[in-house]
Amino acid sequence: MLLSLTVHEYAHAWTAARLGDDTAERLGRLTLNPIPHIDPVGTLLLPALSVIFPGMPFFGWARPVPVDPTRFRRDVSMGAGMALTALAGPASNVLLAFLSAALFGLGYRFGVLVDQPAIRALLGSMMTLNLVLAIFNLVPIPPLDGSRFVDWLLPYRYRDAWHAVQQFSPFLLIGLFYLAPLFLSGPMGLASELLERFLSFVAGA
């Protein structure tokens, strides 16, 4: 969880910097050091409680990376820049999931993981966790990353309604958290199937 959240926030900061906004970099957030990204509750407390109480859902978050869209380059609109910066987080988790699958497949192809159940468990958890983080963060509910695409693409005539919906974001997030298996099972199943096919290809199965 710590590795996945750190890479997720680093990807936000890196993309913002490439688009011209160095706010995160100046605040020390353009780093793979997990400490600047840690949120005491979301990164430490909740994951720890889920380990102590196995029935509790495993969930967490890191400190959001600050982004100032007014500092983007002139050739990048604020809406597009925010959407691209937001997309970088879930994209980094997808990349981690496929990297873990590649290591898993190569480990089986060359017989490295046959007697390494702990490494197999770690790579399996990395695959699943990063897919969940990517898909969950793409849900268009503020402050999740998917909401940035709505901000960018929504026609102006619907903006007032969208802003009204945003007022209920905390309640929508709570509902999504409890109903996540229902809403995310379809996308998660498709993503898992694709990842398994990639793993099998790498493993030579």
Is 68:76 a contact under the CB 8 Å cutoff? Answer: no
**176 confidence band (pLDDT: 50, 70, 90):** confident
Which of 9, 25, 193, 196 is an active site residue?
9
Rounded Cα–Cα distance for residues 93 and 40 (Å): 21
Instruction: Specify the DSSP element, H or E, that contains 86.
Output: helix 78-109
pTM: 0.91
Biggest CA pair distance of the chain: 60
Q: Which amino acid is at 50?
A: S
Paired tokens of 39: 């949120």
What is the pLDDT averaged over residues 48-73? Answer: 87
What is the pLDDT averaged over residues 137-150? Answer: 91
In total, the chain counts a number of residues equal to: 205
What is the pLDDT averaged over residues 153-174? Answer: 87
Active site residue 9: yes
Rounded Cα–Cα distance for residues 28 and 40 (Å): 18
Residues 6+ apart with CB under 8 A from 143: 64, 169
